Structure 1
Amino acid sequence: MSMICFRITLLTLCLGFLTLVAWAQDTTRTAPVADTTRPQPTESADALLSGLTDSTAAPLLPDHMLFTQRAVWGKKGLVRLFGGHELTLERREKELKIRRSMLKLHQVMGFVTLAGFVAQGILGAKLYNATGEDYTRLREWHEGTATAINIAYGTTALLSLTAPPPAVGQRRGLSTIKLHKYLAIVHMAGMIATNILARKIQEDYTLKPYHRAAAYTTFGAFATAIIVLKF
Structure 2
Amino acid sequence: MKKFITIITILIATTYSALAQDVDSLLLSLDSEIEEPVKLLPDKIMFTQRIFWGERGLLRRTGIMPLNEENRIKELKIRRTMLVTHQVLGYATLAGMIAQGIVGGKLYNGETQLKDAHESLAAAVNIGYFTGAALSLFSPPPLISKEVKGLNSIKAHKILASIHFTAMVATNMLAEKAEDPRYAKFHKAAAFTAFGAFAGATIVMKF
- Specify the TM-score bucket, using the shorter chain as the normaliser: 0.7 to 0.9
Q: CA RMSD in A?
A: 1.9
Structure label with greater radius of gyration: 1
Q: Is 1:153 matched with 2:129?
A: yes
Deviation by residue 1:18-64 (Cα, 9 ceiling, x = unmatched):
xxxxxxxxxxxxxxxxxxxxxxx899333343345433x13211121
Q: Which amino acid aligns with 2:30?
A: L
Q: 1:206-225, aligned counterparts within 5 Å? A: 206-225=182-201
Q: Is 1:47 matched with 2:23?
A: no
Q: 1:1-150, aligned counterparts within 5 Å? A: 44-55=25-36, 57-130=37-110, 134-135=111-112, 137-150=113-126
Q: 1:144-183, aligned counterparts within 5 Å? A: 144-173=120-149, 174-183=151-160
Distance 1:88 1:220 in 2: 41
Report the TM-score when normalising by structure 1: 0.74
Distance 2:41 2:137 in 1: 16
- Give the CA deviation at 1:82: 1.7
- Give the CA deviation at 1:167: 1.6
Give the number of equivalent residue pairs: 185
Cα gap change, 1:205 to 1:109, in 2 (>3 Å): same
Percentage of identical aligned residues: 50
Q: Where does residue 5 of structure 2 map in the other structure?
A: none
Which 4+ runs in 1 deviate beyond 4 A?
Answer: none
Q: Which amino acid aligns with 2:128?
A: A
Q: Where does residue 8 of structure 2 map in the other structure?
A: none
Q: Which amino acid aligns with 2:203?
A: I
Structure 1 gap segments, 5+ residues each: 1-40
- Give the CA deviation at 1:90: 2.2
Cα gap change, 1:168 to 1:50, in 2 (>3 Å): farther
